[in-house]
A and B are shown apart, each in its own frame.
Chain A
Amino acid sequence: MGWYIGKRLLQMIPVFFGATLLVYAMVFFIPGDPIQAMFGEKAVNPLIAQQLREQFHLDQPFYMQYLIWLKGIFQGDFGMSFSGRPVIDEIAQAYPVTVKLACIALCFEAVIGVILGVIAGLTKGKWFDTTALIISLLLIAVPTFVMGFLLQVVLGVKLQWFPVTVGANQSLEALVMPGFVLASVSIAYVLRLTRTSVAENAHADYVRTATAKGLRRGQVISRHILRNSLIPVVTFLGVDLGALMGGAIVTEGIFNVPGVGNKLFQAIMRDQGPTIVSLVTILVIVFMVMSLLVDLLYAALDPRIRLA
């Protein structure tokens, strides 16, 4: 086990360097002058421009800028955004909202997806199963931004059940709708995964044995079928949480949630190189660590899996 974790951590190193270099290169080759962008329409004093260029190392060649940035990362310094605030402060401000949103989305996925999936799997081929499959198709087919607007119009504007946007009001009530929208596609995947898994296990030998020894149906389902069927579902949810932590650019944009995704999109639109690279780096690290944890969890839940 220790050997496996070590190997996985070692494999992360090239991915970390590769991914950051890739993002850094894409940001570096954005045409246009970020210093000029800071001043908008006004003419820039060449002396100040020169000073700023030196301050942000913009006068250095590409590889030097990357190395300087890398050195900063290793020292825990994520650099300054062009607006003069440390990037880490902006991240610290935006991250809690994104985590909150991700957790709400995860709850929707786990509750709705698993319950519908279990019932559909146990009644495979019946009307409930067919309906659940059609719902899952619709959830996958409707793009996030369409789903967002749909709920905004119906639940927010027409019925006025939920606030239309989030903004500064980051209460649970305000985050329920964006949380559901963020979860919608994954709910469908969780539903399908649970359904297939339950349907497969429902005919397994150990289930027949459990029924034969006189266990009640409810006990067979909860003790035998569910415990085995939910292993792949739990791992899917783990991977998805890693992706959700990356912030949702579209959902956060539509509902005006001041999270990481929103921050990132603003940084992209305003050509704020340092913010983009540092944010993406953090997201990549979170994603890699989450997928390692999921693999370990998988081995812990299913003793047949041996990590080597």
Chain B
Amino acid sequence: MPETDLTHPVTDVTDLATQPHFVADWDESTVGEIDALDESVPPASLWKEAGRKLIRRPTFIVAALMIVVILAVTIFPTWFSAGDPKAGCLLANRFGPATAGAPLGFDQQGCNVWTFIVYGARPSVLVGVLAMLAVLLLGGTIGALAGWYGHWLDAILSRLGDIFYAIPTVLAALVFLNSQKGKGGTTMVFLVVGVIAVFAWPQMARITRGAVLSVKSSDFITASRALGVSNRKILLRHVLPNAAAPMIVVATTSLGTYIVLEATLSFLGLGLPLSMHSWGSQVASAQGLIRNHPDQLFYPSAALALTVLAFIMLGDAVRDALDPKAAR
């Protein structure tokens, strides 16, 4: 038999509050439960509690280790492979077998496959992280403004969000990036990040708006108002830190999605230029070899999938740790 659920009140509080005689929830905590509470230590904050939960989760440990390796490859590619991937391409090595310096063998052009894989990490991770930050900033700001000021500003910003939400991000990105073909590498990174941010912010804005709305009505906000704290200060100091948990959950979970998005755009030939060796464009250039050399297709695909897996696992673990309802 499952244990009795003590955490849910028997009746809906909002209904009771409107009655002439307000009856408080019946506290069903048992005496033993109250005695068991250790009052000698101060109660842990949401973040400390979440940190403690995270360290105990095996998925988090695996994901964190993978991400440390991925970040190392991203920042210091020379530690893992010899220099410029395009240097040392010899046609004599075409589809050559694995050697000491090239554990994955050589590709159609006689280039070192491993070096390409290593150098492909940087654009993918860079675009993913920048896009996440941009969405956090754009969606967070818009959502916070809509939730905090409400009324007509909320109506306008929510409809604006609906517009961008109705157009699929991949589609919008393709149409936009098609008009920007042939730009340089760095410009393309910012354009890809920009187009993801512009079309992916509504989800973040909705979450932030909801969180801000729920914080807005709490007593400590009324108290700060009564003390004469300015609107802007309340928003930055009190509301946003309290709305941060759901925002962080959405941001970490979407990081993997943005990496996939960049790879998809590059795969379709409209994302990052070939010269950046994004895994997506590596898959695209190997797709013609699917029948005779499927391994050429496999390596960049596997690198991409492992990276995305690491970030998705991180997002999962963070959500479980920060969401008190999940994983009880």
Interface 9-mer from B41-49, B137-145, B167-175: B167-175
Interface 9-mer from A36-44, A218-226, A264-272: A264-272
**Which of B's residues lie within 8 Å of A, judged by CB?**
1-2, 5, 159-160, 162-164, 166-168, 170-172, 174-176, 178-179, 256, 260, 263-264, 267-268, 270, 280, 283, 287, 290-291, 294, 297, 301, 304-306, 308-309, 312-313, 316, 326
Interface 9-mer from A68-76, A77-85, A96-104, A137-145: A137-145
Interface size on A, residues (CB 8 A): 47
In angstroms, how far is the closest chain B Cβ from the Cβ of A93? 20
Residue of A nearest to B177 (CB): A268
Which residue of B175, B263, B309 contacts A26 across the interface (Cβ within 8 Å)? B175
Pairwise interchain contact A250-B256, C-beta atoms closer than 8 A: no
Interface of A is mostly: helix
Pairwise interchain contact A19-B256, C-beta atoms closer than 8 A: no
20 A–B pairs (Cβ distance < 8 Å), ordered by A = A15-B162, A18-B163, A19-B163, A22-B163, A23-B172, A30-B178, A31-B179, A137-B309, A141-B306, A141-B308, A141-B309, A143-B305, A149-B301, A243-B168, A249-B170, A249-B174, A250-B264, A271-B178, A276-B175, A288-B166
Pairwise interchain contact A145-B264, C-beta atoms closer than 8 A: yes
Residue of A nearest to B180 (CB): A31
Pairwise interchain contact A203-B179, C-beta atoms closer than 8 A: no
Residues of B contacting A153 with CB < 8 Å?
290, 294, 297
Residues of A contacting B176 with CB < 8 Å?
26
Task: Please measure, in the bound complex, the distance between the C-alpha atom of A243 and the C-alpha atom of B166, giving whole angstroms.
Answer: 10
Residues of B contacting A22 with CB < 8 Å?
163-164, 167, 172
Task: Please measure, in the bound complex, the distance between the C-alpha atom of A157 and the C-alpha atom of B297, giving whole angstroms.
Answer: 14
Residue of B nearest to A28 (CB): B179
Residues of A contacting B297 with CB < 8 Å?
149, 153
Interface of B is mostly: helix
Interface 9-mer from A173-181, A227-235, A279-287: A279-287
- The answer to whether the Cβ of A303 comes within 8 Å of any Cβ in the partner chain is no
Pairwise interchain contact B305-A23, C-beta atoms closer than 8 A: no
Which residue of A15, A143, A264 contacts B263 across the interface (Cβ within 8 Å)? A143
Pairwise interchain contact A11-B170, C-beta atoms closer than 8 A: no
- The answer to whether the Cβ of A150 comes within 8 Å of any Cβ in the partner chain is yes
In angstroms, how far is the closest chain A Cβ from the Cβ of B181? 9
Task: Please measure, in the bound complex, the distance between the C-alpha atom of A31 and the C-alpha atom of B172, giving whole angstroms.
Answer: 16
Pairwise interchain contact A18-B294, C-beta atoms closer than 8 A: no
Residues of B contacting A52 with CB < 8 Å?
none
Q: Taking each of A15, A152, A243, which has the highest tally of chain B beta carbons within 10 Å of its own beta carbon?
A: A15
Residues of B contacting A208 with CB < 8 Å?
1-2
Pairwise interchain contact B171-A15, C-beta atoms closer than 8 A: no
- The answer to whether the Cβ of A27 comes within 8 Å of any Cβ in the partner chain is yes
Q: Mark A229-259, 1 if CB is under 8 A from B, else 0.
A: 0000000000000010010011001000000
Query: Which A-B residue pairs are the 9 nearest by beta carbons?
Result: A18-B163, A141-B309, A146-B301, A30-B179, A203-B2, A141-B308, A15-B162, A143-B260, A142-B305
Pairwise interchain contact B172-A15, C-beta atoms closer than 8 A: no
In angstroms, how far is the closest chain B Cβ from the Cβ of A64? 20
Pairwise interchain contact A140-B312, C-beta atoms closer than 8 A: yes
**Given A18-B159, A145-B283, A146-B305, A23-B268 contact (CB < 8 Å):** no
Residues of B contacting A29 with CB < 8 Å?
179
Task: Please measure, in the bound complex, the distance between the C-alpha atom of A144 and the C-alpha atom of B5, giving whole angstroms.
Answer: 41
**Given A138-B309, A141-B256, A11-B162 contact (CB < 8 Å):** yes
Task: Please measure, in the bound complex, the distance between the C-alpha atom of A275 and the C-alpha atom of B201, giving whole angstroms.
Answer: 27
**Given A18-B159, A157-B290, A253-B268 contact (CB < 8 Å):** yes
- The answer to whether the Cβ of A14 comes within 8 Å of any Cβ in the partner chain is yes
Pairwise interchain contact A145-B290, C-beta atoms closer than 8 A: no
Task: Please measure, in the bound complex, the distance between the C-alpha atom of A19 and the C-alpha atom of B162, giving whole angstroms.
Answer: 9
Pairwise interchain contact A265-B168, C-beta atoms closer than 8 A: no
Pairwise interchain contact A141-B163, C-beta atoms closer than 8 A: no
Pairwise interchain contact B309-A265, C-beta atoms closer than 8 A: no
Which residue of A23, A149, A284 contacts B290 across the interface (Cβ within 8 Å)? A149
Told that A26-B175, A268-B174 touch, could you supply 20 new A-B pairs with CB distance under 8 A? A11-B162, A18-B160, A22-B163, A22-B172, A23-B167, A23-B172, A30-B178, A30-B179, A137-B312, A140-B312, A142-B305, A143-B260, A149-B283, A149-B297, A150-B301, A152-B290, A205-B5, A208-B2, A276-B175, A284-B166
Which residue of B5, B170, B179, B305 contacts A141 across the interface (Cβ within 8 Å)? B305
Task: Please measure, in the bound complex, the distance between the C-alpha atom of A26 and the C-alpha atom of B306, giving whole angstroms.
Answer: 34
Residue of A nearest to B283 (CB): A145
